[in-house]
């Protein structure tokens, strides 16, 4: 007499698609962090990104941001840190303003590590932008 496993195998139980079927669900509207200070709408070469997954390793997060944003143009700098003040945030600096504007429009709400990215233009020029344009930081 040989061993026979019970007949409980069902293909539907083992196949779990990564993405659910149906139309994509839009990302929620970004929360306003400081009601007295509206988001910056003046285009700049540097994008401020928040709502990033804080549990992701910094090297993995930086590589993922590079992969997402380099499709819109050359990226000069990615600044992401896991400090208390900067956790879940990053700054991406592009070589051209057109690339930054396109990325701002198209990547808004993109799910990265299961969290939608909220993107705004940075309020001031980054050091990489100033250095690229031949300016002085002082």
Provide the CATH number for the domain around residue 99. 3.30.70.330
pLDDT digits (tens, 9 = 90+) for 18-48: 444 555 555 666 565 655 666 667 899 999 9
Backbone angles phi, psi at 109, to 5 degrees: 85, 0
The verdict on residue 26 lying in a domain is no
Please give the residue range of the domain that contains residue 124.
40-131
The verdict on residue 34 lying in a domain is no
The verdict on residue 67 lying in a domain is yes
Q: What strand order describes the sheet that includes 75-80?
A: 75-80, 89-94, 46-50, 118-121
Contact present, 118 and 50 (Cβ < 8 Å): yes
The verdict on residue 79 lying in a domain is yes
Count the domains in the chain: 1
Give the pLDDT confidence score for residue 81 in this predicted structure: 81
The verdict on residue 48 lying in a domain is yes
If one compares 23 and 15, the residue with the highest pLDDT of the two is 23
pLDDT digits (tens, 9 = 90+) for 65-123: 999 999 999 999 999 887 777 788 999 999 999 999 999 999 998 899 889 999 999 98
């Amino acid at each position: 007499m040989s061993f026979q496993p019970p007949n409980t195998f069902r293909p539907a139980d083992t196949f779990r698609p990564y993405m659910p079927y149906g139309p994509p669900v839009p990302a929620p509207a970004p929360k306003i962090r400081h009601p007295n200070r509206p988001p910056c709408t003046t285009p700049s070469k540097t994008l401020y990104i928040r709502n990033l997954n804080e549990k992701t390793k910094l090297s993995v997060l930086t590589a993922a941001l590079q992969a997402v944003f380099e499709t819109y143009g050359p990226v000069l700098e990615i600044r992401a840190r896991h400090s208390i003040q900067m956790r879940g945030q990053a700054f991406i600096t592009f070589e051209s303003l057109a690339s930054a504007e396109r990325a701002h429009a198209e990547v808004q709400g993109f799910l990265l590590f299961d969290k939608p990215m909220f993107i705004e233009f940075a309020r001031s020029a980054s050091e990489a932008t100033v250095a690229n344009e031949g300016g002085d930081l002082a």
